[in-house]
């Protein structure tokens, strides 16, 4: 079984959402033994994320609303957990 943890865009600077994402990223696999759990964010892979960086608005808009939906449409999983309410559309 596969689960995707989908986090906030790196330029939004929402530290509480980032903390929750990182908590889920580290703890979720412990609660889903035998599952393949992956974490992603718009614009780049979660492993290279820095909550304190900021991005130009146009790049953020392009990454979140043009590129991200296209990337997500190719993913197949049993569970998608979106930790940023701004991406719940």
Domains of the chain: total: 1
57 lies in some domain: yes
pLDDT at 33: 93
58 lies in some domain: yes
88 lies in some domain: no
Measured between alpha carbons, how far is 28 from 72 in angstroms, rounded to an integer?
Answer: 20
Q: What is the pLDDT along the chain (89 residues), one digit of tens a residue?
A: 999 999 888 766 678 888 899 899 999 999 999 999 999 888 764 444 454 456 677 888 888 888 888 888 899 999 999 888 777 66
Contacts of residue 43, Cβ cutoff 8 Å, sequence gap at least 6: 9, 10, 11, 55, 59, 60, 63, 64, 67, 68
| Domain enclosing residue 46, as ranges | 2-83
pLDDT at 45: 47
Classify residue 7 by burial, with Cβ atoms within 10 Å: 0-12, 13-18, 19+.
Answer: buried
């Amino acid at each position: 079984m596969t689960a995707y943890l989908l986090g906030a865009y790196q330029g939004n600077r929402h530290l509480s959402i980032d903390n929750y994402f990182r908590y889920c990223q580290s703890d979720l696999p412990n609660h889903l033994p035998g599952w393949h759990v992956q974490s992603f964010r718009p614009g780049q892979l979660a492993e290279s994320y820095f909550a304190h960086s900021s991005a130009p608005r146009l790049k953020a808009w392009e990454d979140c609303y043009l590129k991200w939906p296209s990337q997500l449409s190719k993913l197949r999983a049993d569970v998608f957990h979106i930790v940023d309410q701004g991406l719940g559309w």
